Structure 1
């Protein structure tokens, strides 16, 4: 069935302005790609997977008889090149969701997140997080507030993150991005509690500082469970920076975070 591959590949390339653009995006040599198009050569397994992922088709589809292939992708004919490119990432997300344990449902609700502030040494940042289920995915929202450094001025910079959570191999993986500027992605890995009552979850948080240097950082993080039905305004008022010695942060929280130290401007584990 490889005989149909060249014609099918030509059909897919019509979604792009030129063969050169396809080769550039795929990082495949133009001469080699021309051999695929002419039928002089068939891609090795590695390149075949790259091509199929790029165009958003399956490997068995791209070698079907051309009339069947055209009929199969006919429903996608009105898609733009950018929407076709979204097929592979979407499949990856769906695959992770299928692998994710339904135990994530036990961890839904509101949390206060505590970690050392990436841009304010000597401070602990408290954020408000809400994990919930929507359309089969477990998504979450995280809200931060950083108060002004001007003495006597009660002013805040606000940040809002949105992301998706996956429960894989007894760890909760959370990936989010900052929605107001869209210039930051962070990841949190938590160790779920096996107690019947969720209290506090420990883990690691990775991202970049919001200062001009945008340094990569890693810090211990603690999530304090608040419940599934809370008074949001009251919970949000606690969202702010606290000095590490502040009495508002209890000894248990300080103990869970105490193994983080700053070395060469980065947060590392002691």
Structure 2
């Protein structure tokens, strides 16, 4: 069991630039983390929960035989890290971060994201978002966790992205971290109230079904705070029936994808 876990953890770390980056973002001691990677020690319950939250996995999935774990992550060859010096145009991203960097400070923290699922029509998808500051800007991770009715397997999706505040709008751009097959853009209205509660906007992406149809849907971000029980929050993520009472009525109403008779475009609404 420990051998499976160590191999799986090393493989999951391969989706990041380095082990040092994983330790820094997890706030785990490097020496202790190396013991997990070598299989000499098993993480404590608390450390295991942090690992699961970070990688968007369940504990039992980390303990699967390594070949099953690889299939679960939809393995593909790793891409080389892009060097900024080889692509001068990437300097523009740094400039965008600097333009409205301070304006994003109040929006750091955790959110539940709600929208009508692009791959499960008629269902509302709740995901977990973590927006945080790093050295050169503000970045976020979006984690999907859901179980389709016809299957027992819990599916995960982990998206990494960057956040920008430009002229009174919040722009979020992310990509699917495991396969690199998707890029999603979200544009949100900021709030000018002292208390941060909900942010409304639009999400543009590609459905996860075989047709991979480009879709646009209304989206709501529900602020949870800067410190939460991530394991509990992830357990609440998934697909919800709009007819149920798990999601409150005003939030569901804000997600409805309708176009008024006098509208020529699909528009976001406050």
Taking the aligned partners of 1:83 and 1:124, their CA distance within structure 2 comes to: 39
TM-score by length of 1: 0.64
184, 197, 203: which is aligned to 1:199?
Answer: 197
Which has more strand, going by share of residues?
Answer: 1
Does the C-alpha gap of structure 1 residues 86 and 207 become closer, same or farther in structure 2, counting only changes over 3 Å?
farther
Q: Is 2:111–2:129's contact at 8 Å kept on the other side of the alignment?
A: yes
Aligned residues: 183
SS of 1:94's equivalent?
helix
218, 221, 224: which is aligned to 2:222?
Answer: 224
Q: Is 2:116–2:217's contact at 8 Å kept on the other side of the alignment?
A: yes
1:147-186 alignment runs, 5 A limit? 147-150=147-150, 153-186=151-184
Residues 57-103 of structure 1: CA deviation (Å, up to 9, x unaligned): xxxxxxxxxxxxxxxxxxxxxxx9x7477432321111211222411
CA positional deviation for 1:249: 1.0
TM-score by length of 2: 0.64
CA positional deviation for 1:174: 0.4
Map of 1:242 onto structure 2: 240
Q: Is 1:259–1:269's contact at 8 Å kept on the other side of the alignment?
A: no
Give the aligned CA root-mean-square deviation in angstroms.
2.1
Q: Is 2:113–2:222's contact at 8 Å kept on the other side of the alignment?
A: yes
CA positional deviation for 1:259: 4.0
1:113-132 alignment runs, 5 A limit? 113-132=113-132
Q: Is 1:219–1:260's contact at 8 Å kept on the other side of the alignment?
A: no
Where relative contact order (Cα < 8 A, 6+ residues apart) is larger, the structure is 2
Residues 91-121 of structure 1: CA deviation (Å, up to 9, x unaligned): 1111211222411011000000000000111
Q: Is 2:84–2:90's contact at 8 Å kept on the other side of the alignment?
A: no
Map of 1:111 onto structure 2: 111
Taking the aligned partners of 2:120 and 2:266, their CA distance within structure 1 comes to: 16
Taking the aligned partners of 2:172 and 2:202, their CA distance within structure 1 comes to: 11
Q: Is 2:145–2:234's contact at 8 Å kept on the other side of the alignment?
A: no
Query: Which of the two has higher C-alpha Rg?
Result: 1
Taking the aligned partners of 1:239 and 1:233, their CA distance within structure 2 comes to: 10
Residues 205-249 of structure 1: CA deviation (Å, up to 9, x unaligned): 000001110000000000000000101111111110001112101
Residues 166-195 of structure 1: CA deviation (Å, up to 9, x unaligned): 000000000000001110000000001111
Taking the aligned partners of 2:109 and 2:258, their CA distance within structure 1 comes to: 27
Taking the aligned partners of 1:260 and 1:228, their CA distance within structure 2 comes to: 33
Q: Which runs of 4+ in 1 moved over 6 A?
A: none
CA positional deviation for 1:258: 2.0
Unaligned runs of 5+ in 2: 1-79, 260-264
Unaligned runs of 5+ in 1: 1-79, 262-266
